[in-house]
Amino acid sequence: MSFDVNTISPPRGGFVGGCYEPMTGAPFELRSPSAPHIVFEERSASQEDIDRCVSLASGAVKSSGWAACGPRDRARILHRWADLVDARLEEIAILEALVGSRPYHEATERDVRVVAMALRQFAAYAETHESAVTATPHHQLSYTRDMPYGVVAAIAPWNFPLILSAWKFAPALAAGNAVVLKPSELTPFSILRVAELGIEAGLPKGLFNILPGAGGTGAALVRHPGIDTVSFTGSTVTGAKVMAEAAAHGLKPVSLELGGKGAQLVFADARDPDHVADLIVRGITYNSGQVCFAGSRLVVQAAIRDRLLSLVEQRMNGLVEGPTWQKVSLPPIINATQLARIEAIVQTATDQGAELLCGGEPIADAQGRSFFQPTILQSSDTDNAAYREEIFGPVLLLDTFESFEEGIAKANHPEFGLAASVYTSNLDTALAAADQLDSGTVWINHWGRAADMTSPFGGVRRSGFGKDMGRAGYQKYLKTKSVWVERAVP
């Protein structure tokens, strides 16, 4: 046991103007998926809370001089903030594991460290960012100025609360903006502590604010006239609503990182089938499948189907479920509602003709926690629910192919395009597949994001648009102004 879940006193309420504040909106319950007997009574941000917070954020941009100061001045504060996050690593990881699905050992090894990495990386982008001078006749001068938008509304989901929040607030602040973050109402605690450390590092009060609440809070934030741009990560259905609200209330620019149905495309010449099987299982069971870029569709060349399937099943059978404070390979599903949704989609898929090869049922738990068996379904039917729906659980859909062209056709999903993997020992095959897969990210002989900030991430079609991470993930928080100077000719 890494910590005693019954002794943790998390930060509560919202974080507005550099201080914790109680919210005045509708009450809601927040329950630990690893310890369902632990319930926190919270309140959403009311419209009055939102109005006050956005006003403070807008005022802070002007009064602090944050946008106007040199990028190295901002970078120094972000570096100090990163150092404080590193120093409080275990404390923040406990808060991440308390009410979320992220295991404590993974939060300490990765999630909290990514927050510090993001602060340092985007500080570096701020220091090295360049604008352009365009070619003109000698008596004219044309150049661009990249300016912060002002106040950024950032809406983050519950599956990776720290990482996906950091992907937003770190670049937005580095670029000179203020941020109002709405975390998921299921997982607000860890990011509250991170925000507090920002003030300790010297971040001017009011530049980074956190408003708790469910979907209504996020919608009200998007509609607010004081919000200048919106960054959202979550489901495709909710992302469409965010886009519509932003368009109807000021034509605010929007960046959306949405759902996926990622393919793991395996050719018969793939090296080391054991390693490939490890990656396939990780791709669908990491965080119990509660990953937007999960490798949820295994598209395997028929010649190696049986061998690879056997290896995948063996590994799935060896996974161990348990609470987030234990070193487990299958953490809880976030709540009973999500567990019921996974079960319903699997049942619908089998009713529609998908063959159940393993798993397919919730795992009984005496403590009332929600777990789902690692599951493999087989179907070639593109109308099947397991193909159409983002299940967000440890459910893998299997299909086979013969030729390269058939493999690409089956790997490309008609609606989603967030991430895909290709496994082959042939470089020409790998590069051709990467070119022809209609996906925002393609991993070759790999699955999952490395501990790296330079590679941009984002999807196409119903998986969204705009990029997080990389230079593109910094640039999207800046608006470009063109300046033309007509000089007098001597």
Report the catalytic residues: 182, 257, 292, 390
* Cα 421 versus chain centre, distance: 18
* C-alpha distances in Å from residue 309, one per residue of 193, 207, 280: 43, 51, 10
* Cα 169 versus chain centre, distance: 12
Residue 137 to residue 366: CA distance in whole angstroms: 77
- Give 318-377 as a DSSP string: T--B--TTS--SBPPPS-HHHHHHHHHHHHHHHHTT-EEEE--SEEP-TT---EE--EEE
Neighbours of 271 (CB within 10 A): 10
The neighbouring-strand residues paired with 266 are: 300, 423
Query: Could you tell me if 180 and 206 are in contact, meaning their C-beta atoms sit under 8 angstroms apart?
Result: no
Residue 473 to residue 480: CA distance in whole angstroms: 15
The residue behind tokens 């489901």 is: 235
Residue 490 to residue 481: CA distance in whole angstroms: 28
Which DSSP state fits 468? B
* C-alpha distances in Å from residue 214, one per residue of 76, 254, 442: 34, 19, 33
- Give 155-221 as a DSSP string: E--SSSHHHHHHHHHHHHHHTT-EEEEE--TTS-HHHHHHHHHHHHHTPPTTSEEE---SHHHHHHH
Neighbours of 113 (CB within 10 A): 19
- Give 226-278 as a DSSP string: T--EEEEES-HHHHHHHHHHHHHTT---EEEE-----EEEE-TT-S-HHHHHH
